[in-house]
Structure 1
């Protein structure tokens, strides 16, 4: 109802804290829409029905010997898509990051749900690394010393210890190898419902496929078996897990190195985000963002004195840095918490170090050697890769596309589909945000533009290969880095502006502001504690019992 909406934002030169002003306006606007029955908050478990609960429950029911149930996957997929569309159309949050995340959840939940339910034959083909008690007694042959633990990548230096004649990849495996054996577990069709649910839950929540036969090639993984359904189940060759892949994704061999690495990344990300919030928010480009036909608040004197090209570069760099630091903080925190919670489960590989490879690849091995293609195909976190490539893989398996490994048409289409889906994913984040000023064409233009950049650079390098090969390798790296920087600067403004209009930068990424605590920066009324009750989970009572739950 239009009457439930607040009037447009009215700023005055005396407004002391523009970000706080906009945050309060957006929150009151959403509260009015909820009260009018036009919107609903994100509620767990109700809002997870489409992206998580329905596909997981369906896959927990055996269908390999029930053709009618297997055919019902299309009905399940349709219901899943309908629920996700309903969530995207009606749900948001007063937490600006959650509001943006609703769209990501609904759209990627659709992509990933389709991949697992329809495109992949998981009950027929997928298998994961599992462990079971072994009858043999522990008989240590020898253990590797500290010098042997620091090896190179791509298949060398991966042995942490040799126990009972078996090379093991890290100390978490070494603690179990004497009592347990590792094998490839297919769908436990004859197991209990809880056993099947555990298998499906692990598959559905392992977006990169860690520990599965369908793991993405970027991360360190054991060699896949030729036939995981053979009897007895094939053993896992743990010694085949490389310390690092050719794109630079690496694993830790000791708990101390894992914790040190993740905590260090979190520390730098935390400090960067803390500084980011008191720096970028002074620029109205980020708060409230460039809205068509709406003048921005005046620039601070320092920014107003910068030449427009330099100001544009600064904004692109700040936007990129904010995104990268947020991913670094929360993804490393997730790994740290997941490993810490599961390491007590000594009979599950999910609590072992090799299951938690690094978030990003190696910048020198990817971007400096392959340019824009290396940035997206190797260095970037690859979390959504399986969902983005599943449609093309399915089309190849059905014979609709050329199945030859180097078929240019198939590779080009796969690349375009992946970037297009990524654009749709980020456009959905803006759609579910409280401000209705985002434009889907911004994220779509950025990611389709990245596709064009990858194709253009790859084609140019292929045509100029005889001349490029004469250039010393370090200078080739400089050229790749320069091309990536220029292309990203030329295109990234589209997605950063859309995030600005979505109010995403109003989110307080850290609860305690160290910078504000020591009295540096900040705006009027801002203290060192940054999270109010809108940032914390709380109970929500809906109009129906199934709509009640934990509100985010």
Structure 2
């Protein structure tokens, strides 16, 4: 029988689906149903809306134990091919477990979390004053003078803690649960664009003009944010379509050939048969393609947030106000997914690359995991700043490695979760610490005084690029082996519709169904299955 990996990539994807159906029928694995997805989302919401005064403190621990059991059962026994040959099943299950632990175990939601909300029934008028308290709740007034020319929108804003009213608490809890970067929360990740000064004046007592805030006149409007997101979406969409054609023409991205294979050489070298290509250059090209595909996939996915929520709030402002107390129409809610590259990577090196430039979607969960571990250690250790820094860096990257390794674990292929993604992310922590030691201990004693800024930036870039290309093969090779790139990133392909790519391709790419009814004869083994 011919190896399906050497035929069409669609045949290979169908082969994985056939293999999954077989192992499910044999009882080796079980399918993932829609009700599993509903349950793992509903349980945290139930725990969040029950206040501590009604037993919520203890009920959340019970629900967390239940979430742990469900997550373990899914990671061990459930499989699907949707989402990168099962990659997203493991990654999202592991992340959901980390995030649930953050909300139920590592923090106190009624004490630690506050959301920026519109103050109901109050609007700014010119020369009107409002009383404000940093820790105010919805009923507390604001004390501040804000002119109409400084406003980003017509509402007064305040910090909203855990609300007493159930409907408000449900809105607040859902907003907390499904938030990743916290742009409207008191834990917003640091690389987000600073809040406008008018918002800062309302939220922070003793506001200083020197704090990190942005002039309202230079802040993009909602329409500007929406168009910027649309441009990112279109560019990312077209690049993903182009990369899909390149990746599927290369045996490496189907899991057949090693990264340094020259038969055939990677794009664009196979168009130049007379050009000698070194195996190291071939591996470098494939690692760059892998990184580019991940980057643009994240750009496309994260741009959907402003396109959907900001777009709806601009078209239906009253509907957005009735839907939630969060200011969905505020442009400062929608920062770019990635931070500034120059100020992050060139000025801060590898630490800036991961901590300031990269997307930061999981940062709060990782940081709270490290903070909780520190709370369990002796105070004599925790009091040392360097020990705390090392713990934060190592725990955060090990947790990230765990989340991505779970994605590798649930793929229907021969992957190496520990020596692949987990090793890659763990190594980043040690590289960052080594970089910090060099910059703070070794570099000052070297006879390099007065080194120009451009040279330091060049050195930072070269170190980051070379390190990520060397260490990136651990995760890139695992992505390729696991069949991650078989996933169709776009529903409609302009390039393949115009005749580019393999013969037989067309405009429509999402040809296979994502769901199917499945029943093994039992109640819990029946339902809408995620394929």
How would you bin the TM-score normalised by the shorter chain?
0.7 to 0.9
Please name the residue that 2:60 is paired with. Answer: 73
Does 1:214 pair with 2:187?
A: yes
Task: Specify every segment of 5 or more residues in structure 1 that has no aligned partner in the other structure, as ranges.
Answer: 1-8, 142-163, 225-233
Does 1:525 pair with 2:504?
A: yes
Supply the distance in 1 between the matched residues of 2:70 and 2:208 (Cα, whole angstroms).
39
Supply the distance in 1 between the matched residues of 2:211 and 2:518 (Cα, whole angstroms).
45
Q: How do 1:30-179 residues align onto structure 2 when only pairs under 5 Å count?
A: 30-50=20-40, 52-63=41-52, 65-66=53-54, 69-97=56-84, 99-134=86-121, 138-139=125-126, 165-166=145-146, 173-174=152-153, 176-177=154-155
* Equivalent position SS for 1:452: helix
Question: How far is the alpha carbon of 1:330 from its aligned partner?
Answer: 1.0
Does 1:353 pair with 2:331?
A: yes
Question: How far is the alpha carbon of 1:408 from its aligned partner?
Answer: 0.2
Question: How far is the alpha carbon of 1:526 from its aligned partner?
Answer: 1.7
Please name the residue that 1:317 is paired with. Answer: 288
CA RMSD between the two structures: 3.5
Residues 271 and 140 from structure 1, CA distance in 2 versus in 1: closer, same or farther, beyond 3 angstroms?
farther
1:331 aligns with one of 293, 302, 306: 302
Question: How far is the alpha carbon of 1:137 from its aligned partner?
Answer: 7.2
Task: Specify every segment of 5 or more residues in structure 2 that has no aligned partner in the other structure, as ranges.
Answer: 129-143
Q: How do 1:459-474 residues align onto structure 2 when only pairs under 5 Å count?
A: 459-462=437-440, 463-465=442-444, 467=447, 469-474=449-454
Residues 289 and 323 from structure 1, CA distance in 2 versus in 1: closer, same or farther, beyond 3 angstroms?
farther
Give a deviation string over 1:502-537, Cα, whole Å, max 9, x none. 1110011112222222222x1132222211133x55
Residues 49 and 137 from structure 1, CA distance in 2 versus in 1: closer, same or farther, beyond 3 angstroms?
closer
* Equivalent position SS for 2:321: coil
Question: How far is the alpha carbon of 1:340 from its aligned partner?
Answer: 2.2
Give a deviation string over 1:228-259, Cα, whole Å, max 9, x none. xxxxxx9535997999979xxxx962122112
* Equivalent position SS for 2:160: strand
Conservation of the 8 A alpha-carbon contact between 2:113 and 2:161: yes
Give a deviation string over 1:275-316, Cα, whole Å, max 9, x none. 111112222211125589xx9995369459521111111111
* Equivalent position SS for 2:253: coil
Question: How far is the alpha carbon of 1:46 from its aligned partner?
Answer: 2.1
Conservation of the 8 A alpha-carbon contact between 2:127 and 2:147: no
Supply the distance in 2 between the matched residues of 1:537 and 1:438 (Cα, whole angstroms).
28
Supply the distance in 2 between the matched residues of 1:167 and 1:139 (Cα, whole angstroms).
5
Conservation of the 8 A alpha-carbon contact between 1:40 and 1:91: yes
Higher helix share: 2
Please name the residue that 1:515 is paired with. Answer: 495
Supply the distance in 2 between the matched residues of 1:507 and 1:137 (Cα, whole angstroms).
49
Please name the residue that 1:501 is paired with. Answer: 481
Please name the residue that 1:422 is paired with. Answer: 400
Greater mean deviation of Cα atoms: 467-476 or 355-364: 467-476
Supply the distance in 2 between the matched residues of 1:245 and 1:380 (Cα, whole angstroms).
20
Residues 500 and 136 from structure 1, CA distance in 2 versus in 1: closer, same or farther, beyond 3 angstroms?
closer
Please name the residue that 1:256 is paired with. Answer: 223
Supply the distance in 2 between the matched residues of 1:518 and 1:241 (Cα, whole angstroms).
57
* Equivalent position SS for 1:509: coil
Conservation of the 8 A alpha-carbon contact between 1:367 and 1:375: yes
Residues 135 and 366 from structure 1, CA distance in 2 versus in 1: closer, same or farther, beyond 3 angstroms?
closer
* Equivalent position SS for 1:349: coil
Question: How far is the alpha carbon of 1:40 from its aligned partner?
Answer: 3.9
Question: How far is the alpha carbon of 1:20 from its aligned partner?
Answer: 2.3
Question: How far is the alpha carbon of 1:16 from its aligned partner?
Answer: 4.5
Residues 21 and 167 from structure 1, CA distance in 2 versus in 1: closer, same or farther, beyond 3 angstroms?
farther
Does 1:182 pair with 2:162?
A: no
Conservation of the 8 A alpha-carbon contact between 1:361 and 1:381: yes
1:448 aligns with one of 411, 418, 426: 426
Does 1:267 pair with 2:256?
A: no
* Equivalent position SS for 1:211: coil
Does 1:287 pair with 2:267?
A: no
